[in-house]
Structures are given as C-alpha cells and as structure tokens.
Amino acid sequence: MNGSPLARIGSGWLLVLPFLALVVALFLGPIVDILRLSVTDPEPGLGNYAALMTSDSLARILWTTLRVCAITTLFSVAFGYSIAYAMVHGVRRDRNWMLSLVLVSFWISVLVRTFSWLMLLGRKGLVNEALAGIGIISQPIEFMRNELGVLIGMVHYMIPYAVLPLLASMQTIDTRLVSASRSLGATGSQTFWRVYLPLTRPGLVAASLLVFILSLGFYVTPAILGGGKVLMVAEYISVQILVTLRWGTAAMLAALMLFGVLGLLFVMSRFMKLSTIFGGARA
Amino acid sequence: MNDKGFMRETLAEGAVAFKEGRMDRRTFLILCGMAGVATQAVLTGDAEAAANEIVMWNWGGQAEQCHGEAIGAPFKAETGMDLKFDTSGPLQGKIKEMVDSGKVTADVCDADLFDAVALGASGHLEAIDYGVVSKDRTIDRYALEYGTSIILYGYAFVYDTKAFGDNPPTGWADFFDTKKFPGKRSLYKWANGSLEAALIADGVAKDALYPLDMDRSLAKIKSIKDDSIYWGSASEAHSMVVNGEVAMCMVWQNRGRGIEKDTDGRYKLVMNEAIAMPGAYIVPKGNPAGREAVMKFIATAQSVPAQLTLLSCLGMTPSNPEAFAQIPADLQPYAITSAQNIDKIVYNDPVWWGEKGGDAVNAFLDAIS
C-alpha cells in the first residue's frame, strides 16, 4: 500500500466519481434549494418552522399523516408476516404461486388499485350491493371516501413491501432451531414467541421502516379514497406549491419529512446495524 | 436567467453569418445545440422561425382538439403561425416556477382570471394589450390588466331525479338542506365555488357575496360535512355521480350535459344560482413568441365563431357578449350566458380570489379534513 490518497481511494471509485458528481448535482442540489426555500420564503427566518408550533391545522395534518402511516404499517406488517410465514413453510409449488400473486399486486399501478377498491367497496360497489341484496344491511356500509378507505387502500398497497423483506429474513432462519426448541419441551406457541419471532426481528424492523417511510409520501390513495376528508402531508405540500403558492410552507414540510425519515433511520441504527436490515431486504 | 434572450440573438446573428458563409456549418449547429433550438426550424428560415408558433398551455384531453379547431385554425389562416400545445395544466405554481426559472416555453395559458390577479401582481405575467385585444368582447368586469376572460365555466349542481324527482331542489339552499333532501353531497375540494354556494345557501344576496365572509361560509360547509365528500377533478365528480355515490353533486356546468347523458337522464343539472367563473388567457412574462403575436392570438379567441366552437366542442360558455344571442338552442340550458340562464347566475370576483385565494383554500381544507 503506498500512501498517495488517490491510490487509497482506488480506481473503482474513480469510475463512479462522475456518477457521484451527477447525483450530487441533480439530487443534493435541489434538496439544498428546498431547505433554503424553507427559511427564505416568504421572508428570511424560521417563520415557516414556527408555524408548526402555532398552527392547529398543520399539527392536525401531521397527526393525520402519522396516525394513518402507523396504522398502515401495523396492519401491513402483520398481514405481510403471515403471508411470508405461510410462504416459507408451505410446499415449494404453493410458495411459487403465492410469490407470483404478491408480485402481480406489487406491479399493478396505484391508480388502478385505488379505483378497483371504489368499485368493490363503494356505496354502490359489489360488496354493498351484494349485502343489501341478501338483506343483511339496509344502508350501505361506508368503506370508502373516509379514513377507513384510505387505510384499506394503503395497507393493500403496502403488503408486498412488507412481505419481501420478511420473506428474505425468514428464509435465512435455521429451522433446526425450531426443532431444538420443541425437543426441549417448548410448546408450539412458546417456540414461535420466544425463538422464531426474535429471529425475524431484523426483517420486521426492515419491513416496518420500509412501509412507514413509503406511506409518508402517499398522495393518490388518500386523495381519492379519503373523499377529500383525509388530508395528508404529501397532498398538502402539492397544494401549497401548485395552488396557494406558499412555497415556504411546502419546503418546510418537505424538510420536516426528510429529516423525520433520516432521524428515524438514525434511531434505528442505534439499535441495530442498518446494513443487516437493508442487506436482509434484498429479496 | 436572461440567457434565453441573449441566446436567441446570438443564434439570429449566427444564422445570418452562416448564410453569408462567415460561419461554418459545424459551429452553427453547435450554437443551435447550445441554445436548445431545433436545427430544422433554424435552417428553414432563420432563428426567428423557431418562434413562429404559439404554444398554448392547457389541460389536455378534448381541449387540444377543440382549441386547435376553434382558435388554431383561424389564427393560422390569419397569421401563418402554428398552434402547439403543452397539455400539462397551467397551475399557478407551475407558471410561477416557469417564469422564475427563466425557461419560458409557453405563450398563453388557459387559466383562471384570479391567476391573472395573483401572478400579475407578483410580476410573472405580460400585461394584456387592449389595443389588440378588445375590452368589449368580454364581460365588463372580466377584462383585467394581466388577463382577459375568454370563456366562462361555472359551479352548478346535479341531483338524482330518482330521489328528488317529485320535489326537485332548485338552488344552493336546497343543496345544503340535508333534512329536506337527504343523501350524500359532493363539493369542490379547492374551496372555489363551494364557499360562494354556502353563503348563498345561508341567505347572502347574490350581489353582496364579496368580500366572502369566511367564518359564515365555513360554518355552513361544516354543517353538512358528515353528509359531504369532496372532489378534486372534473372526472372525479363525474365518476362520483355516475357510480351513484352521491344524491347531489356540485359540478362544473360544462360537465352537466355529459352527466345527464351518461346517467340516461337520472341526474339532472340545476343552473339556477350557478357561479360563473371567468376562464382567462394569461401570458407568462418573456413568452417565446413575443407579446405582439400572442395578443393577436387572444384576439382571435375572442371572435364569435371561435367562441361558439369552444361552446359546442368543450361546453365552455362564450364570454363575448356578441356571441350570447347566437348560442344554439340545444346548448342553451347548459350555457351560463344564454338568455334563459344569464339572469340567474352569480359572478365570481377574480380580484378577491387572486388576493385572498391562498388563505381561503387553506382554511377550507382545514375545515373539511
């Protein structure tokens, strides 16, 4: 090893250097611009951030966003866990068609899925008409155009994102540990709670992080299935940029989201190596 | 960035130099490349040829064909200039961004008149040249410094004849009366029109609406919140009605005919107390074709044949008073300024919306969410 810094960087880095520069210019540049906007528009200072403390409506939008994202994460990961569990422990043929189903729903556009939910669960949708037809209900059940609708749409969209990291994590577990646990006298549920579940923790964390972070940016589903009543941050930012021209507010919220996510990753990194999580996420 | 003007001049100079043989082809092509100009446009004439067209920024869909037919064709016949389209929708934020970035690619925006008030005041628009564009060919109060109304659209509502056929609702008071007319409503999500409708329903006189009493309006909106959902685009409103999600739905009046047709007449349009919105043509500052050319274009759009084609093709109501009397009989029920509707309508105040719109939208979103 000679001491020249260039050699230490290595020729591999030189190859990616132009692309790194491109990423910095095209990605970091605009982000810095947004951060700058959040403290300069409409006037220099921290006024936009101070509004977080004083404005009830901003607080409510953030609360709605966090609530919807947290519930979405909870249900997506719970469903995703069961699906991944069934896939890992099923026979190979079942696993293949289950994986195809997950992937097919993964690939269907969010708009198509959103409108499908309206057709299925809307006021005059298949389910309500069927239930009314056989006389179980007299009034249609309000599945859609409210927070429940947003949650249904978002959980459905997010399940594949939960399944894939969990699947990868479960596949690496040595099944002999389960046998060992049983042979030492643990019951089935004891084995699951005390041996299996802790082993899948990196996968659980990865799935939860992925789902939660992606949920934060949801736009189409809340806008359509929420019927205008579920206002989340992404939609609010877009309104502030395009309609009301409060670019400072929009930039402040964008910065808040960005640092929120980074902060979340930082907290997680205190508890576990992030590389294992995202290494585990390679499905 | 003032580079654009500089680049165009450089290019015009370059084109002359190239033609006279003072500049070789390669250097000239590099220049064109740097300026981002299609070389073909340059080579066929000079650099100015690249600007021998008007780019209209509209909302796509049918509008492209209709604007081409109604305004593009006569404009081409008159001036030889082509009409091209950018169909990405000229929202205020996008216009501001385009002008601020210095890369103005659109000449005229199919926007709202309140946009002209908001963006004109912040210096993002070219003033309308009323030497070319006629003040008499639009509604009195809708010829403003930075925009002129070309068409009117309006907020009206449709109702389910199966639910209220015997005793149909006749105005906004009925729309907001969920006791007498039970069932779901749908209103426009971005406040516009919804606020006015609420005040009219609450008993405010049609000519005393502005400045809008926000507290009173929002209280009325909230009073039917449990029975309301909200739409953000015309197609969303359309599908809410067609799928039977609502008993009454506020709609853009130009959609009324389509809804009546798609529901086989089950839903019917009510034009009484419709709120007329001035759709306006506005010009981003530093538009590529220059101010003179685009003003001629706007003047063409004011002509009676263009106005009537926009009506039959898009359902947009003429704002040129000369065209009012020529609205065909079958379209009269759906047109805002037809003889049978003109006395029943309410006029939107673009100045109030241009100045207070941002706050109003945020307050409205806060109230409904």
A2 belongs to a structural domain: no
Query: pLDDT by residue (tens digit) across B89-137?
Result: 999 999 999 999 999 999 999 999 999 999 999 999 999 999 999 999 9
Residue B107 token pair: 């000449």
Look at B194 and A17; give whichever has higher pLDDT.
B194
Query: Which pLDDT score is estimated for A275?
Result: 66
Whether A252 and A48 have beta carbons less than 8 Å apart is answered as: yes
A182 belongs to a structural domain: yes
Based on the domain organization, do B241 and B357 belong to the same domain?
Answer: yes
Q: Are strands B228-231 and B125-126 parallel, antiparallel or unpaired?
A: unpaired
Q: How many whole angstroms separate alpha carbon B342 and alpha carbon B345?
A: 6
A191 belongs to a structural domain: yes
Average pLDDT in the A236-259 region? 95
B365 with A236: Cβ contact below 8 A: yes
Chains A–B, number of C-beta pairs less than 8 Å apart: 70
Give SS3 for B279. Answer: strand
Q: How far is CA A183 from CA A187, A190, A200, in A?
A: 9, 12, 21
State the smallest CA–CA distance between residue B52 and chain A in angstroms.
Answer: 30
Give SS3 for A137. Answer: coil
Contacts of A85 (CB under 8 A, 6+ apart): A170
* Chain B contact set for A221 (CB, 8 A): none
Contacts of A156 (CB under 8 A, 6+ apart): A105, A113, A117
Residue A4, pLDDT > 80, answer no
Domain with B18, as residue range(s), is 3-50
Based on the domain organization, do B169 and B191 belong to the same domain?
Answer: yes
Name the pLDDT band for A154 (thresholds 50, 70, 90).
very high
Residue B2, pLDDT > 50, answer no
Average pLDDT in the A106-132 region? 92
Query: pLDDT by residue (tens digit) across B224-282?
Result: 999 999 999 999 999 999 999 999 999 999 999 999 999 999 999 999 999 999 999 99
> Poorest-confidence range of A206-215, A268-277, B59-68, B114-123?
A268-277
Nearest to B259 by CA among B273, B245, B272, B277: B245
Based on the domain organization, do B266 and B310 belong to the same domain?
Answer: no
| CATH number, position B265 | 3.40.190.10
Q: How many whole angstroms separate alpha carbon B45 and alpha carbon B179?
A: 69
Based on the domain organization, do B353 and B213 belong to the same domain?
Answer: yes
Chain B: residue whose CA lies nearest to A228: B230
Mean pLDDT of chain B: 90
| Phi, psi angles (nearest 5°) of residue B347 | -100, 130
Residue B43 token pair: 């080579």
Q: Which of B31, B50, B69 is the last residue before a domain boundary?
A: B50
Query: Which pLDDT score is estimated for B37?
Result: 55
Q: How far is CA B347 from CA B51, B209, B339, in A?
A: 37, 9, 16
Rounded to the nearest 5 percent, the helix, strand and coil shares of chain B are 50, 20, 30
Query: Which pLDDT score is estimated for A24?
Result: 86
A177 belongs to a structural domain: yes
| CATH number, position A242 | 1.10.3720.10
Residue A247, pLDDT > 80, answer yes
Based on the domain organization, do B46 and B177 belong to the same domain?
Answer: no
Any A CB within 8 A of B176 CB: no
Average pLDDT in the A5-12 region? 65
A243 with B366: Cβ contact below 8 A: no
Query: Which pLDDT score is estimated for B61?
Result: 87
Query: pLDDT by residue (tens digit) across B40-68?
Result: 444 444 444 456 899 999 999 899 999 99
Query: pLDDT by residue (tens digit) across B159-192?
Result: 999 999 899 999 999 999 999 999 999 999 999 9
Tell me the ipTM for this assembly.
0.86
Based on the domain organization, do B218 and B351 belong to the same domain?
Answer: yes
A228 with B190: Cβ contact below 8 A: no
Based on the domain organization, do B250 and B364 belong to the same domain?
Answer: yes
A22 belongs to a structural domain: no
A60 with B229: Cβ contact below 8 A: no
Based on the domain organization, do B19 and B147 belong to the same domain?
Answer: no
Query: Which pLDDT score is estimated for B262?
Result: 94
Query: Which pLDDT score is estimated for A283?
Result: 38
A39 belongs to a structural domain: no
E strands, B182-300, in order: 185-188, 228-231, 248-252, 267-284
Average pLDDT in the A18-33 region? 89
Query: Which pLDDT score is estimated for B38?
Result: 52
A44 belongs to a structural domain: no
Query: Which pLDDT score is estimated for A270?
Result: 78
Based on the domain organization, do B74 and B214 belong to the same domain?
Answer: no
Based on the domain organization, do B235 and B352 belong to the same domain?
Answer: yes
Look at A5 and B363; give whichever has higher pLDDT.
B363
How many structural domains is chain B composed of? 3
A24 belongs to a structural domain: no
According to DSSP, residue B212 is labeled: P
Based on the domain organization, do B363 and B249 belong to the same domain?
Answer: yes
Query: pLDDT by residue (tens digit) across B130-141?
Result: 999 999 999 999
Name the pLDDT band for A277 (thresholds 50, 70, 90).
low
Give residue for tokens 């080579």: B43
Strand partners, B280: B111, B149
Q: Are strands B346-347 and B267-284 parallel, antiparallel or unpaired?
A: parallel
Residue A280, pLDDT > 90, answer no
Average pLDDT in the B310-319 region? 95
According to DSSP, residue B230 is labeled: E
How many structural domains is chain A composed of? 1
Any A CB within 8 A of B353 CB: no
Q: Any idea how long chain B is?
A: 369
> Poorest-confidence range of A207-211, B37-41, B225-229, B359-363?
B37-41
Chain A segment 260-279 residues within 8 A of B by beta carbon are none
Domain with A191, as residue range(s), is 56-280
Q: How many whole angstroms separate alpha carbon B348 and alpha carbon B319?
A: 13
| Phi, psi angles (nearest 5°) of residue B229 | -125, 170
